[in-house]
Amino acid sequence: MGWKVLVTARAFWVSGQAAEDQLRAAGCEVARSPKAGPLPEDALIALLQDCDAVIGSSDPYTARVFAECPRLKLVSRCGVGTDSVDMNAAAKAGVVATNTPGAMSEAVADFTFALMLAVARRIPEGDALMRVGGWDEFRGASVYQKTLGLVGVGRIGRAVARRAQGFAMRVLAYDPAFPPPFVIEGKNGEGHLTFVSLEELLAESDYVSLHAPATPETQGMFAAARFQQMKPTAYLINTARGALVNEADLIAALEAETIAGAALDVYTQEPLPADHPLRRAPRCVLTPHNAFNALESTQEMSRQSAVPILQLMRGDRPDNVCNPGVWDSPALRV
């Protein structure tokens, strides 16, 4: 018998027709939320009452959600980030949680370089001036042969490093999983990575690009003290998670010219409020959490987010389970 599947992920709505067809062919009923996520907790609970699975945005999947939605068996995140899912609570409640690793890595890496070039060469300023009939010069900074510092070196960080080769950049990396003086040699198309301390990376990098997950350890890791450690000519790029950056301290650093500029695609509150002071910050390029949003990546995300539903319906353990301890839970719902 097919499952009822709620979809709150806008990417699946737009690019997931083939995946949705597969679910329907397997007997599933697929329902969209009235608006795209992330949804408030109360609204999410109301929609999940008769659902077996959800293809989710970054909605709050909390212990309360699992307790009040006893039919829910699977949270399939249409994306790589899982910080909105309480993994311990999911495992305890017997709810399986999955994500779509790798589906968006290349798209986010492309976008990271797009932001880097946009803020360094002041492209949005030039575009805005041209559209009101103006003409002027905007002196920017070069990217070619500069030093790029990667904070977090998973799939996306390594994809950014590969692109940096084309700009003849020196690439430094910081990741607790690779203590210095660890080195990844650039072979078979991989970027050469030299791992250093975070302090050394900040002191030497012309561009600092964030690719770390949102965890209690990384919460607000880029605050006033970190900006002071960066070069005054350096730029911060964040396509990872808004929680990594103390936004008030970033605004202060931009206003004081402690750093040269920033480009952000993610924020602590999304959507970013219309009156948020970041919207008025100088030398700051802002985009609405779109780094993942290439046609090819959203189609692959949609495909990967449907697969665990089909696997669980067959009685198989799905790919990309984020809370493997769930299999030991006496409350396992599948």
Residue 96 sits in the same domain as residue 117: no
| pLDDT value at residue 183 | 87
Residue 9 sits in a domain of what CATH number?
A: 3.40.50.720
Residue 153 and residue 201 in one domain: yes
> Are 139 and 279 in a shared domain?
yes
Q: Is 91 in the same domain as 142? A: no
Report the alpha-carbon distance of residue 290 to residue 259 in Å, rounded: 24
Here the tokens at position 283 are 């030398």
Give domain status of residue 315, yes or no.
yes
Q: Is position 243 within any domain?
A: yes
- Same domain for 124 and 211: yes
Tell me, what's the pLDDT at 143? 98
pLDDT at res. 188:
63
Query: What residues act catalytically?
Result: 241, 270, 289
The answer to whether residue 132 is domain-embedded is: yes
pLDDT of residue 180: 86
**Residues 143 and 264 reside in one and the same domain:** yes
Q: What is the CA radius of gyration of the chain?
A: 21
246 and 321 assigned to the same domain: no
Give domain status of residue 224, yes or no. yes
Residue 73 sits in the same domain as residue 120: no
**Structural domain for 242, as ranges:** 105-286
- Is the residue at 334 inside a domain? no
Q: Is residue 11 part of a domain?
A: yes
Q: Are residue 147 and residue 170 in the same domain, yes or no?
A: yes
pLDDT score at 42: 98
| Residue 42 is assigned to a structural domain of this protein | yes
Into how many domains does the chain fold? 2
Question: Do 49 and 167 fall into the same domain?
Answer: no
Is residue 209 located within the same domain as residue 93? no
* 333 part of a folded domain: no
pLDDT tens, N- to C-terminus, the chain (334 residues):
689 999 999 999 999 999 999 999 999 999 999 999 999 999 999 999 999 999 999 999 999 999 999 999 999 999 988 989 999 999 999 999 999 999 999 999 999 999 999 999 999 999 999 999 999 999 999 999 999 999 999 999 999 999 999 999 999 999 999 988 888 877 666 678 999 999 999 999 999 999 999 999 999 999 999 999 999 999 999 999 999 999 999 999 999 999 999 999 999 999 999 999 999 999 999 999 999 999 999 999 999 999 999 999 999 999 899 999 999 999 999 9
* 252, 267, 286 - which closes a domain: 286
Clarify whether residues 161 and 273 are in a common domain: yes
